[in-house]
Amino acid sequence: MTAFSTWAIVVAAGSGERLGADRPKAFVAFRGGSLVAASLAVLDDHDGIDGIVVAVPEGYETAMSLIADDLAATKIATAVAGGPSRGESVANAVACLPAGVDFVLVHDAARPLLTPSLIDRVLGGLASGADGVVPALAITDSVKRLAADGSVAETLDRSTLRTVQTPQGFVVERLRAAIAAAGDALGAATDCASLVEASGGRVVCVEGDEANIKVTTRADLARAESVAP
Ligand code: CTP
Ligand code: MG
């Protein structure tokens, strides 16, 4: 049996403008710790993850070491300064992965409620040979595409549409190549899978988790806090 090496990247370098707290979003208090600590704890505990790189706002490297100490985390190898966009933060973290890593999961610190079983599903997708794996949810609302004037141009077939979450899993070399090929698209990308898709990679979906919400606003933070741990 081949033992694959799998690392995780947690992107925590955003400012959290829409949350409007007195500190970057990832460092906002959550369940006795911080938002970023919640996902780090789950990833650090998972047997399928061998090491972790965190992208933090410039100047927050020490704060991250303290969080890692507090969690008694054993797998956090590096805290690297992120970039001006999510894509650039991912790129900085990918550059810190050691040689010989096969797979990487990229996760947003803004999603503190990821679960071991969601990680299992993403790892399962990678083991079955995809270049990229995204946790996806079906859409229950009707979805409209708008014309330039804001009127409805068409109603899309929602059965073929999904919303996607993190963690997203990738063959490391596929993600590296996609980042290298992205050019200006890196800064505009809202997820990593879009870069891998654009460079010709095969991305598959696994079942997401309704509870794995993204904290963007104050209301989201309150909702995430209210989910039973
Ligand atoms: N992120 C990052 N580096 C950036 C921008 C975002 O690492 N330059 C991370 C955030 O920390 C977050 C994830 O990417 O975990 C998703 O981004 P988002 O939810 O938009 O967070 P923020 O950019 O911090 O929030 P806002 O857009 O409201 O400022
Ligand atoms: Mg943002």
Binned at pLDDT 50, 70 and 90, residue 133 comes out as very high
Residue type, 119: I
Other beta carbons within 10 Å of 181: 14
Tokens 């997203």 found at: 168
The structural domains of the chain, ordered by start, are 6-226 (3.90.550.10)
Q: What is the mean pLDDT of residues 113-142?
A: 97
Closest CA to 108 of 96, 95, 100, 118: 118
Least confident of 2-6, 182-186, 202-206: 2-6
Q: Which ligand has its closest atom nearest to the C-alpha of 38?
A: 1
Q: What is the mean pLDDT of residues 75-96?
A: 98
Three-class SS of 67-103: HHHHHCCCCEEEEEECCCCHHHHHHHHHCCCCCCCCE
pLDDT attached to residue 3: 82
Q: How far is the CA of 214 from the centre of ligand 1 (A)?
A: 10
68: pLDDT strictly greater than 60: yes
Structure tokens at 82: 């992120």
C-alpha 148: how far from chain center: 31
229: pLDDT strictly greater than 80: no
* Contact of 195 with 175, CB cutoff 8 Å: yes
pLDDT attached to residue 123: 98
Mean of per-residue pLDDT scores for the chain: 97
Backbone angles phi, psi at 14, to 5 degrees: -75, 165
Whose CA is closest to atom 10 on ligand 1? 14
Please report the beta strands in the chain, taking only residues with DSSP state E, as ranges in sequence order: 6-11, 29-30, 33-34, 51-56, 76-81, 103-108, 132-138, 144-146, 152-155, 162-164, 168-171, 203-207
Whose CA is closest to atom 8 on ligand 1? 85
| DSSP run (H or E) holding 45 | helix 35-45
Distance CA 116, CA 45 (A): 9
Which of 108, 164, 166, 213 has most ligand 1 atoms within 8 Å of its beta carbon, as the pocket-test mutant?
108
Q: Which ligand has its closest atom nearest to the C-alpha of 87?
A: 1
pLDDT attached to residue 2: 60
pLDDT cut 70: percent of the chain above it: 99
C-alpha 68: how far from chain center: 18
Q: Which atom of ligand 1 is nearest to the CA of 24?
A: 24
Residue type, 206: V
